[in-house]
Each structure stands twice: as structure tokens, then as C-alpha cells.
Amino acid sequence: MIKKLFLTPALLLSCLFVFSGTVFSEDLEALLEKAKQGDAGAQNRLGFMYAKGIGIPQDYAEAEKWYKKAAAQGYTSAQYNLGVIYERGEGIPQNYTEAMRWWKKAAGQGYDEAQYSLGSMYKNGDGVPQNYAEAMKWLEKAAERGHAKAQNNLGFMYDHGEGVPQNYKKAYILYDLSSAQGNKKAKYNISIIEPRMAPAQIVEAQKEAAELRKKIKK
């Protein structure tokens, strides 16, 4: 029997996020057949459906299996998603080493969400020794690709001198870039840092942020 996928608004938003704006609505049997034939995109979607219980019973072991098949083909979304279930320990033993391994593969291909996740792990020392140099490296890569949370976190590091010399101007620029994308934390951070800066310095930082936004959009 062919099953149709019916997505609630919340689940639809999740799918939009994970699959870069692609809405999917496929027959489950057809999707499974594509996955069995080696289609990495289908394998990743099937893994996501099992992980979230979309149209089928939630099954993390099956999610891991299908994510792995797609990830082994170099499919970045699957590599990232696989890292997520290892990092969170969703239905499987938590494994930071495996999470890092798969995130590094995706990050190396320019997947900004994986770059941000790696940077955050190193910044906070989650499952790895705290390493500000590595945190900076990966957060910078994600920030350059326009990742709002990475921009805010990187700005925070410059703001508070975490692993780098304190630099309010650089912090402001990054907060400004992030805030322009609707990041409320960045907007709050701007309100905190502004009193510590000279008016001329703020104007200069705003101009540089505006120029960077143009480059990032390109």
C-alpha cells in the first residue's frame, strides 16, 4: 500500500531547514526504492523521516543506517544530520568523536551548519577540550558564508577577548551582520557593546558591516 506524507506546519518548517528550502512530498514506497538504488538524496530524506517520525514510526537505528549510506557518498546534509544524532545521542549512544568526524567531512565541503556546530563544540568544550583557535577557524568559515549564529558567536569572542585580543570594532561588525538577519541575541549584544565604543568607531563599524553584507550576498 502506498503511503502519502502529510506534513504539519512545524514539520514542514523542519524539512525546509534541513533540505535547503526543498519541500518534499513523495510516496514512501517510491522514496524507499530510490534509497535502495543508491540515491543519496533519497537516503538522506528517508533517514530524516525515521529520525523525526514523519509518515513512519520514529526509528533512530534506521535513521542512522540511511544517513550513513548517504554520508558515505559525500552527501553533506546527511553527514551533518548523522553528526547531529551522534552529538545528541538520539536513540543511539552519544558519541562526540563520531559527531566531530562527520561534521568535519561536511564542514570541509563548505556546509555552514556543520562549520558552526564544530566551532561551537570547540568554543564551549562540548565533548572535546576547549580550543579557541579551532573555534575561531570554524566559526569564521561559517560567518563568511553568512551564518547568523556563527557571526554572533564570533563577535562575542572578539567582544570578550576569548582566544583573541579584545576588539570591539570587529565584535560590532559581526553583531551587526548577525542582527541584520534577525538574530535577537546579536541585537542585544549591540546594545551592550555600544556604550563602550566611541560614536565615530560605531559609524565606521556600521559602514564596514554594510560592505561585508554586499560581499556575502554575492
pLDDT at 15 (0 to 100) = 39
Global pTM exceeds 0.75: yes
| Mean pLDDT rounded to a whole number for the chain | 89
DSSP 208: H
Asked whether residue 86 is domain-assigned, the answer is: yes
DSSP 181: T
CATH number at residue 44: 1.25.40.10
For 153-169, what is each residue's pLDDT tens digit? 999 999 999 999 999 99
- Cα 211 to chain centroid, rounded: 24
Residue whose entry in the numeric block shows the C-alpha cell 576547549? 130
Q: How many domains does the chain have?
A: 1
Task: Summarize the confidence of residues 70-92 as an average pLDDT.
Answer: 96
pLDDT at 217 (0 to 100) = 67
Q: Label residues 60-82 b or e (16+ Cβ within 10 Å = b).
A: bebbbebbbbbbeeebbbbbbbb
Asked whether residue 47 is domain-assigned, the answer is: yes
- Under the banding of pLDDT at 50, 70 and 90, the label for residue 26 is low
Asked whether residue 97 is domain-assigned, the answer is: yes
- Under the banding of pLDDT at 50, 70 and 90, the label for residue 204 is very high
Lowest mean pLDDT among 7-16, 19-28, 62-71, 135-144: 7-16
> Distance between terminal CA atoms of the chain?
47
Residue whose entry in the numeric block shows the C-alpha cell 552519544? 94
- Under the banding of pLDDT at 50, 70 and 90, the label for residue 214 is confident
φ/ψ of residue 212, rounded to 5: -65, -35
Instruction: Give the residue numbers spanning the domain of 23.
Output: 1-109
Task: Summarize the confidence of residues 54-64 as an average pLDDT.
Answer: 95
Asked whether residue 17 is domain-assigned, the answer is: yes
Cell output for 40: 543519496
**CA proximity to 149, closest of 109, 124, 179, 122:** 179
- Cα 116 to chain centroid, rounded: 5
Crossing angle for the helix pair 40-52 and 60-71, nearest 10 degrees? 160
Residue whose entry in the numeric block shows the C-alpha cell 549591540? 190
Asked whether residue 115 is domain-assigned, the answer is: no
- The contacts of residue 101 (CB under 8 Å, 6+ apart) are 83
For residue 7, is pLDDT > 60? no
Asked whether residue 174 is domain-assigned, the answer is: no
Asked whether residue 93 is domain-assigned, the answer is: yes
pLDDT at 215 (0 to 100) = 85
For 167-192, what is each residue's pLDDT tens digit? 999 999 999 999 999 999 999 999 99
- The contacts of residue 98 (CB under 8 Å, 6+ apart) are 82, 83, 86
Strands (E), the chain: none
Asked whether residue 51 is domain-assigned, the answer is: yes
